[in-house]
Structure 1
Amino acid sequence: MDKRTEQIPTAGDLLISEPFLQDQNFMRSVILLCDHNEEGSFGFVMNKPSILRLGEIVQDLDFLDKEVFVGGPVEQNTLHFVYLGDKQLEGSISVGNQIWWGGDFDQLVEKLKLNQMELDRIRFFIGYSGWGAGQLQDEMNEETWILCREDIDEDSFDSTPEDLWKGLLKNMGGEFKLIANYPRDPRLN
């Protein structure tokens, strides 16, 4: 068994899809894990932009031209967000070093209207990625995911989708640095 499969994910970890995963929902994806317990797991794909803009989804923020990401295939009719920095919203849940998941949405809208939160430190998602009890660990054992404990930071928010996947793997070094350069389709190599 690969030592990668022996690790147990926790909130704040990143799940990096293995390079040949063909599931369109998760191909070359990086997922921020927000919750992991015996009942299941929950997170957001950090590097899959949608075609939607925040102002198209939230009428009170129609003045904002902010990219919205596809958080995963589950309940894509829901809007979620994470932000970096100090806790600024009631109800936000810490998922790591200065990373907050959710919080009072009305308070968020008001702070954005008053320019009291930095828009480039917030990432919005439609839908989420979810796993039932034991499902994520099964996928870890099948080596579908590479566990990364590198903190999300402003550079992660600024990276292009492909650069985030590659950059994290390169930073992990060793075999992961090699994996980062694998072609999407090895038949074309």
Structure 2
Amino acid sequence: MSGPYFTGQLLVATPALSDPNFARSVVLILDHDGDGALGVVVNKPTDLPVTSVLAPWTDMVCQPDVLFHGGPVATDSALALAEVPDGLDAEPLGWRRLYGRLGLVDLDTPPELLAGGVRGMRVFAGYSGWSPGQLEAEVKEGGWYVVDSEPADAFTLDPTTLWRRVLRRQPDELALVATFPDDPTLN
């Protein structure tokens, strides 16, 4: 497959998506090419404070300062996203650019090496992954809406309302999907 790739875009679960791992999910696609896709669910916080699993990083994590459920793959591992500020001369040690100002933080790096060099850090348990062609097939089958992301989406202060907010800002009929009931059988 050659393009279109979805790196930097959001996958918004359609109401028809029945997989419990992704119901009402908003997934930020971190990398997508001919080898598959990788993303993290940005609207599913857990109750587990970052301080309980990665205490040295607590001061760098944005609110809510809890671990997020990034997806069903490798849930026993952590992945951290952070943004570098505009105008930064050099990329901070321990941070690897994905696209734009967003990158991955190497959690084995001493936090003090990144202090002041990143902002808006968020930690995810697990990630979402797709084999070559799998994501494109799921989009074609109607499981996901692919929409543009905004810089604040990955670090929103109110992640639990992100699904509706992302849909509401879309043009035309897609904005109406935001009003779709959680359980249509109760209508």
Q: Report the TM-score when normalising by structure 1.
A: 0.82
2:69 corresponds to 1:73: no
* 1:20/1:185 contact within 8 Å kept: no
CA distance in 2 between partners of 1:104 and 1:11 (Å): 20
3-state secondary structure, aligned to 1:76 = strand
Match of 2:136 in 1: 137
How far residue 162 of structure 1 moved from its aligned partner, in angstroms, is: 3.5
* 1:32/1:45 contact within 8 Å kept: yes
2:98 corresponds to 1:94: yes
Match of 1:3 in 2: none
CA change 1:53–1:110 in 2 (3 A) is same
How far residue 160 of structure 1 moved from its aligned partner, in angstroms, is: 2.5
Gaps of 5+ in 1: 1-6
Per-residue CA distance 1:31-62 (angstroms, 9 max, x = gap): 01011111111000000112221111124346
More helix by share: 1
- Aligned to 1:109, which of 102, 108, 111? 111
* 1:56/1:62 contact within 8 Å kept: no
CA change 1:104–1:75 in 2 (3 A) is closer
Per-residue CA distance 1:71-97 (angstroms, 9 max, x = gap): 0000001111111233434441233x3
Matches within 5 A, 1:17-166: 17-61=13-57, 66-86=65-85, 87-95=91-99, 97-100=100-103, 102-107=104-109, 109-111=111-113, 116=116, 121-153=120-152, 157-166=155-164
* RMSD of aligned residue pairs (Cα, Å): 2.4
CA change 1:143–1:124 in 2 (3 A) is same
Per-residue CA distance 1:145-189 (angstroms, 9 max, x = gap): 100113232x65234234211111111121111101000111111
Gaps of 5+ in 2: 86-90
CA change 1:108–1:69 in 2 (3 A) is farther
* 1:93/1:103 contact within 8 Å kept: no
CA change 1:77–1:156 in 2 (3 A) is closer
Q: Report the TM-score when normalising by structure 2.
A: 0.83
Q: How many residues align?
A: 177
